[in-house]
Amino acid sequence: MRRLAAVPLLPPLTSRDPHTTPADLLAGLVPPPQFAAASFDSYVPDPDHPSQAAAQEKLRELAAALTRAQRRGLFRRSAPPSSVYLDGGYGVGKTHLLASLAHAVGPERSAYGTFVEYTHLVGALGFAACVAELSTRALVAIDEFELDDPGDTVLMSRLLRELADAGVTLVATSNTLPEALGEGRFAAEDFLREIQALAARFTVMRIDGNDYRHRTGRPAHAALTDDDVSQAARAASEAGAAVTVDGWPELVAHLSRIHPSRYGRLVDDVDAVLLTGVDQLDDDMVGLRLVVLVDRLYDRNVPVRLGGTGVADLVSERMLTKGYRKKYYRALSRLGALCALPLPGQ
């Protein structure tokens, strides 16, 4: 076999200062590369959890209804198909189903993004322009719906109300029931009316099951040494991969200087991300940035290696018992899957 020429290590992520335009954000409202080929047929429900097959059939029917309405030119002249909220634990296939729905409806008539991406879109375009743009779609799909602060509650309640009034069908996924959004993060009772208004717009479907990435608890991948990581970086580079190596403290500091809407651009065109000096987190601001970064890496199916603290011990016990615990558990699950991916050349 012909040996590939070695590729020098890419400059570290900490040297990147990516920028995005509103046009970039709009163009990115499609399922991520990880789910580029997702379909209802490729989703395999767990027979031990019938709610998975029920959700699959519900969204398949919704896609068919949206397609029929489009053919007849009806979805703007009559009530759109009902909006759906998929509630369930991490790793049960909610994102796969949501991406399948967006693909079935088509990129011209659907918008797909995470909750965080939609809040960033409002900030980039302005509220009125965002409503005008999204109102041209038959479907707005919102992955990982969550409320981290009161401002998001009011913003998203108003945005979804105006989109629904414009005839847009809304489908969201979350690890939290609508009426419990914001619980443990802020005085949710002060925003109960907004939260109830959000909940009233959806038909809620529960999806049960195990995390298909890790069946029991947190990922238990053995911690690597920094030397292990350096050797892995050299081997991947020699195999022709575009690899970055960053020190953990430096990356944590760098993420604080970049808006999370730009984290995707930060890791574009990277084949593997390797980190040295990783230490346990006990800071929610840092933790929430990490959640977004892990999501963008997972979207792109980028292998990761950690030198120092392993995935299982990356987030402190305190953080895993407070209001953001579901976000952290999802991030650990996804990060564990990325750490298990083979590096290029392996």
Indicate whether 172 and 311 sit together in one domain: no
**Rounded-to-integer distance, Cα 289 and Cα 328, Å:** 11
Residue 128 lies in a domain: yes
At 292-309, the pLDDT tens digits run 999 999 999 999 999 999
C-alpha distance across the termini of the chain, in Å: 15
Q: How confident is the model at residue 77 (pLDDT cuts 50, 70, 90)?
A: very low
Rounded to an integer, the average pLDDT of 37-45 is 95
pLDDT bucket at 72, cuts 50 / 70 / 90? low
In a domain, 296, yes or no: yes
Q: Could you tell me if 62 and 153 lie in one domain?
A: yes
**Residue-level pLDDT at 219:** 63
Residue 26 has pLDDT above 50, yes or no: yes
Residue 231 predicted with pLDDT over 90: yes
Is the C-alpha dihedral spanning 327, 333, 339, 343 positive or negative? negative
Residues 182 and 316 in one domain: no
The amino acid present at 34, given as its one-letter code, is Q
Is 167 found in the same domain as 289?
no
- Residue 222 is predicted with a pLDDT of 67
Same domain (yes/no): 65, 106: yes
**Tally of structural domains, the chain:** 2
Specify whether 167 is located in the same domain as 306. Answer: no
Beta-carbon count within 10 A of 320 CB: 15
**Residue 5, in any domain of the structure:** no
Last residue of a domain, one of 207, 239, 264: 207
Indicate whether 48 pLDDT > 90. yes
Whether residue 164 sits in one domain with residue 230: no
Residue 6 lies in a domain: no
User: What would the mean pLDDT of 248-267 be, rounded to a whole number?
Assistant: 93
- Within a domain: 7: no
Interval 143-166 mean pLDDT: 79
Q: What is the mean pLDDT of residues 234-259?
A: 94
Q: Which ranges constitute the DSSP H helices of the chain?
A: 22-27, 50-72, 94-105, 115-125, 127-134, 150-165, 192-200, 226-238, 248-255, 263-266, 284-300, 325-340
Check whether residue 168 and residue 263 sit in a common domain. no
Q: What is the largest CA-CA distance in the chain?
A: 66
Q: What is the mean pLDDT of residues 193-200?
A: 64
The two tokens of residue 263 are 């984290």
Main-chain dihedrals φ then ψ at residue 49, nearest 5 degrees: -135, 85
What pLDDT shows up at residue 309? 92
Residue 321 is encoded by which pair of tokens? 């018992």
Domain boundary (158, 191, 207) is at 207
Which pLDDT score is estimated for 182? 46
**Which of 183, 207, 231 is the last residue in one of the domains?**
207
> Are 98 and 173 within 8 A, CB to CB?
yes
Confidence of residue 188 (pLDDT cuts 50, 70, 90): very low
Same domain, 126 and 203: yes
Altogether, the residues listed in the chain come to a count of 346
Cβ neighbours, 10 Å, residue 116: 21
Short-list 267, 245, 244, CA closest to 255: 267
Domain containing 309: what range?
13-18+215-340
Let me know: does 199 contact 182? Beta carbons within 8 Å.
no
Q: How confident is the model at residue 187 (pLDDT cuts 50, 70, 90)?
A: very low
323, 336 Cβ separation under 8 angstroms: no
Same domain as 55, residue 119: yes
Residue-wise pLDDT for 308-328, tens only, equals 999 989 999 999 988 788 889
169 and 70 in one domain? yes
* CA-based radius of gyration for the chain: 21
Q: pTM for the whole thing? A: 0.79
> Is 227 found in the same domain as 162?
no
User: Is pLDDT above 90 for 20?
Assistant: no
Task: Tell me: pLDDT of 68 over 80.
Answer: yes
Most confidently predicted of 15-29, 128-142, 315-329: 128-142
Q: Write the CATH number for 291.
A: 3.40.50
- CATH code of the domain containing 95: 3.40.50.300
Residue tagged 């590096």 (tokens): 343
Q: How many angstroms separate the Cα of 214 from the Cα of each of 28, 33, 210, 211, 222?
A: 29, 21, 8, 6, 14
Tell me if 194 is assigned to some domain: yes
Residue 161 lies in a domain: yes
Mean pLDDT of 238-251: 94
Residue 2 domain-assigned? Answer: no
- What distance in Å separates the CA atoms of residue 285 and residue 22, rounded to the nearest whole number? 25
Query: Does the structure show a pLDDT above 70 at 287?
Result: yes
